[in-house]
A and B are shown apart, each in its own frame.
Chain A
Amino acid sequence: MVLPRSEMEFLQPESWAEALAVRAAYPEALPVAGGTDVMVELNFARRRPPALLDLGRVAGLADWGTEDGLLRLGAGVPYRRIVTELAGRAPGLAMAARTIGSAQIRNRGTVGGNLGSASPAGDALPPLLAAGALVELASVRGVRRVPVAGFCTGPKRSMLAPDELIAAVLLPPDAGPEQFAKVGTRNAMVIAVCSFALALRPVSRTVGTGIGSAAPTPVRAAAAEELLVAELPWADRAALPEPLVRRFGELVAAAASPIDDVRGTAAYRRHALGVLAGRAVRRAWAEHRRGGVRG
Chain B
Amino acid sequence: MTGQILPGARSDGSAWSVGAVGGAVAPGCGSSGGVRCVGGGVGGIGASPVRPDGALKVRGEFAFSSDLWADDMLWGATLRSPHPSATIRGIDVGAALAVPGVYAVLTADDVPGDRHYGLEVADQPVLAVDEVCYRGEPVAIVAADHPETARRAAERIVVDYGVREPVTDPEVALAGGRLVRHVPIRKGDPAAVAEVVVTGEYRVGMQDQAFLGPESGLAVPAPDGGVELYVATQWLHADQRQVAAALGLPVELVRLSLAGVGGAFGAREDLSMQVHASLLALRTGRPVKMVYGREESFVGHVHRHPAILRYEHGATRDGELVYVRARILLDGGAYTSTTPAVVANAASLGVGPYRVPNVTVDAYGVHTNNPPCGAMRGFGAVQACFGYESQMDRLAEAVGLDPVEVRVRNALAEGGSMPTGQVVEGPAPVARLLELVRDRPAPPPVGDDPRQLPGGVANTTAPEQVVRGVGYAIGIKNVCFSEGFDDHATARVRLELIGGEPTALVHTAAAEVGQGLVTVQAQIARTELGVERVVVATADTSVGSAGSSSASRQTYMTGGAVRAACRAVRAALLARLAGGSGAGADDGGVADDGGAVGDGGVVGDGGTVGDGGGRVAGGGLELAGGVIRDAAGRTLGTLVDLLAAGPVERSVRWRHRPTRPLDPVTGQGDAHVQYAFAAHRATVDVDPELGLVRVVEIATAQDVGRAINPQAVLGQIQGGTAQGLGLALMEELQVVDGVIRNPSFTDYLIPTILDVPPMAVDVLELADPHAPYGLRGVGEPPTISATPAIVAAIRAATGLPLARVPVRPEHLTGTG
Q: Are B815 and A268 in contact (CB under 8 A)?
A: yes
Task: Give chain A residues whose Cβ lies under 8 Å from the Cβ of B293.
Answer: 43-45
Task: Select which of B295, B456, B690, B753 is within 8 A of A44 by beta carbon.
Answer: B295
Q: How far is the CA of A99 from the CA of B746 in the complex (A)?
A: 15
B746 nearest CB neighbor, chain A only: A191
Q: Are A188 and B456 in contact (CB under 8 A)?
A: yes
Question: A190 and B816 in contact (CB under 8 A), knowing A6-B149, A262-B734?
Answer: no
Residue of A nearest to B811 (CB): A268
- Please give, as numbers and ranges, the residues of chain A lying within 8 Å of B691 by CB-CB distance: 268, 272
B147 nearest in chain A by CB position: A6
Bound Cα distance A183, B809 (Å): 10
Which A residues are CB-close (under 8 A) to B730?
185-186
- Contacting B at CB under 8 A, from A269-295, are 270-272, 275-276, 279
Partner of A182, one of B99, B458, B753: B458
Q: Are A187 and B810 in contact (CB under 8 A)?
A: no
Asked whether A95 is an interface residue with its Cβ less than 8 Å from the other chain, the reply is yes
Please determine whether B460 and A264 come into contact, CB atoms closer than 8 angstroms.
Answer: no
Is B749 positioned at the interface, with any CB of A under 8 Å from its CB? Answer: yes
Q: Do B755 and A6 touch across chains, with their CB atoms under 8 A apart?
A: no
Residue A189 interfacial (CB < 8 Å): yes
Q: Are A186 and B99 in contact (CB under 8 A)?
A: no
Residue of B nearest to A185 (CB): B730
A1 and B730 alpha carbons, distance in the complex (Å): 46
CA–CA, A181 and B459, complex, Å: 5
Say if the beta carbon of B457 comes within 8 Å of chain A: yes
- Least CB distance, A183 to chain B, in whole angstroms: 6
CB distance A188 to B460 under 8 Å? no
Chain B: minimal CB distance from A259 (Å): 13
Interface residues on B, range: 35 or more
Interface flags, B328-370, vs A, CB<8A=1, else 0: 0000000000000000000000000000000000000000000
Q: Is B217 among interface residues, defined by CB-CB distance under 8 A?
A: no
Task: Please tell me if A267 contacts chain B, counting CB pairs below 8 Å.
Answer: yes
Our pick among B459, B747, B753, B809 for the contact of A180 (Cβ within 8 Å) is: B459
Bound CA–CA A190/B809 (angstroms): 14
Q: Is the CB of A187 within 8 A of B752?
A: yes
B732 to chain A, nearest CB (A): 9
Cross-chain contact A181 with B149 (CB below 8 angstroms) = no
Which of A44, A184, A271 is within 8 Å of B458, CB to CB? A184
Q: Known contacts being A1-B99, A186-B730, is A267 close to B458, with CB within 8 Å?
A: no
- Please encode chain A, from 91 to 104, with 1 for each CB lying within 8 Å of some chain B CB and 0 for all others: 00001001100100
Query: Would you call B747 and A183 a contact (CB within 8 A)?
Result: no
Decide yes or no whether B57 CB sits under 8 A from chain A.
Answer: no
Contacts of B694 in A (CB 8 A): 187
Complexed CA–CA distance, A185 and B746 (Å):
11
With A265-B815, A267-B815: A186-B809 Cβ-Cβ less than 8 Å = no
Q: Are B689 and A98 in contact (CB under 8 A)?
A: no
What are the residues of chain B within 8 A of A114 when measuring CB–CB? none
Tell me the minimal C-beta distance from A282 to chain B in angstroms.
Answer: 9
Report A58 CB to chain B, min CB distance, Å. Answer: 28
Chain B residues whose CB sits within 8 angstroms of the CB of A81 once the complex forms: none
A213 on the interface (CB 8 Å rule)?
A: no
Other-chain contact of B810, A180, A264, A275 (Cβ < 8 Å):
A264
Q: Does A193 contact B (CB under 8 A)?
A: yes
Is A2 an interface residue, CB under 8 A from the partner? yes
A3-B152, A99-B458, A265-B810 as given contacts; A271 in contact with B815, CB under 8 Å: yes
Residues of B within 8 A of A267 (CB): 810, 815-816
Q: Is the interface of B mostly helix, strand, loop or mixed?
A: loop
Shortest distance between the CB of A65 and any CB in chain B (Å): 27
A108 at the interface (CB under 8 A from B): no
| B257 proximal to A (CB < 8 A) | no
Contact A187 B149 (CB under 8 A): no
- Asked if B660 CB lies within 8 Å of chain A CBs, one says no
A272 near B152 (CB under 8 angstroms)?
Answer: no
Asked if A179 is at the interface of the complex by the 8 Å CB criterion, the answer is: yes
Q: How far is the CB of A4 from chain B (nearest CB, A)?
A: 9
State whether A272 touches B690 (Cβ < 8 A).
Answer: yes
A157 interface hit (Cβ, 8 Å) = no
| Interface residues in A94-139 (C-beta closer than 8 Å to B) | 95, 98-99, 102
Instruction: List chain A residues, Cβ under 8 A from B151.
Output: 45
Contacts of B294 in A (CB 8 A): 44
Residues of chain B within 8 A of A182, CB atoms compared = 458-460
A2 vs B101: C-alpha distance in the bound complex, in angstroms?
A: 10
Is the pair A185, B808 in contact by a Cβ cutoff of 8 Å? yes
Chain A residues within an 8 Å CB radius of B755: 186-188
Cα–Cα distance between A107 and B692 once the two chains are bound (Å): 27
Task: Please name all residues of chain A whose beta carbon is closer than 8 Å to the beta carbon of B465 when the two chains form the complex.
Answer: 279
For B95, list chain A residues within 8 Å (CB).
Answer: 1
Residue of B nearest to A182 (CB): B458
**Which chain A positions have C-beta within 8 A of B581?**
none
Question: How distant is the Cα of A84 from the Cα of B355 in the complex, in angstroms?
Answer: 59
8 Å CB interface, B587-615 against A: none
Query: Contact flags (1/0) for A159-191 with B, using CB distance below 8 Å?
Result: 000000000000000000001111111111111
B409 within 8 A of A: no
Considering the chains assembled together, what is the distance between the CA atoms of A189 and B750 in angstroms? 10
B734 CB contacts on chain A under 8 angstroms = 262
Report if B422 contacts A (CB, 8 A): no
Report B783-816 residues with CB < 8 Å from chain A CB.
Answer: 808-810, 813, 815-816
- Chain B proximity mask over A239-264: 1 for CB below 8 Å, otherwise 0: 00000000000000000000000111
Give every chain B residue within 8 A of A95 (Cβ-Cβ).
459
What B residues does A44 contact at CB under 8 A? 293-295, 744
Residue of B nearest to A274 (CB): B689
Chain B CB within 10 Å — which of A98, A181, A183 has the most?
A183
The interface residues of chain A lying within 8 Å CB-to-CB of B172 are none
Name which residue of chain B comes closest to A44, CB basis: B295
Q: Tell me whether B815 and A183 are in contact (CB under 8 A).
A: no
B741 at the interface (CB under 8 A from A): yes
State in angstroms the CA–CA spacing of A185 and B742 once bound together.
Answer: 14
Residue of A nearest to B750 (CB): A186
* A-contacting residues, B723-778, CB 8 Å: 729-730, 734, 741-742, 744, 746-747, 749, 751-755
CB pair A186–B749 under 8 Å, yes or no, is yes
B184 at the interface (CB under 8 A from A): no
Chain B residue contacts of A179, Cβ below 8 A = 459
**Which of A45, A181, A186, A195 makes the CB contact (< 8 A) with B729?**
A186
Q: Which residue of A lies closest to B808 (CB)?
A: A185
0/1 string, B112-155, CB within 8 A of A gives 1: 00000000000000000000000000000000001011011100
CB < 8 Å neighbour of B816 from A181, A189, A265, A279: A265
Q: Are B741 and A183 in contact (CB under 8 A)?
A: no
CA distance A3 to B749 in the complex (A): 36
B148 and chain A: residue at smallest CB distance: A6
B146 engages A6 (CB within 8 Å): yes
A6 to B691 alpha-carbon distance, docked (Å): 46
Please measure, in the bound complex, the distance between the C-alpha atom of A75 and the C-alpha atom of B293, giving whole angstroms: 31
B455, B742, B747, B813: the one within 8 Å of A268 (CB): B813
Q: A44-B293, A262-B741, A265-B815 are in contact. Are A186 and B810 (CB under 8 A)?
A: no
Residue of A1, A95, A190, A270 ringed by the most chain B CB atoms within 10 A: A190
Q: How far is the CA of A189 from the CA of B295 in the complex (A)?
A: 18
A187's partner among B152, B744, B754 (CB-CB below 8 A) is B754
CA distance in complex: A268, B809 (Å): 8
Nearest 6 A-B pairs (CB), nearest first?
A: A187-B456, A6-B148, A268-B815, A267-B815, A188-B754, A187-B754
22 contacts between A and B (CB under 8 A): A1-B98, A2-B100, A3-B100, A3-B152, A6-B149, A99-B458, A102-B752, A182-B458, A182-B460, A183-B460, A186-B751, A186-B752, A187-B451, A187-B455, A187-B457, A187-B754, A188-B457, A191-B746, A195-B458, A267-B815, A268-B691, A268-B816
Residues on B lying within 8 angstroms of A by beta carbon are 95, 98-100, 146, 148-149, 151-153, 293-295, 451, 454-460, 462, 465, 689-692, 694, 729-730, 734, 741-742, 744, 746-747, 749, 751-755, 808-810, 813, 815-816
For the A-B complex with A182-B458, A186-B754, A191-B747 known, give 4 more contacts whose Cβ atoms are closer than 8 Å: A43-B293, A263-B747, A265-B815, A272-B690
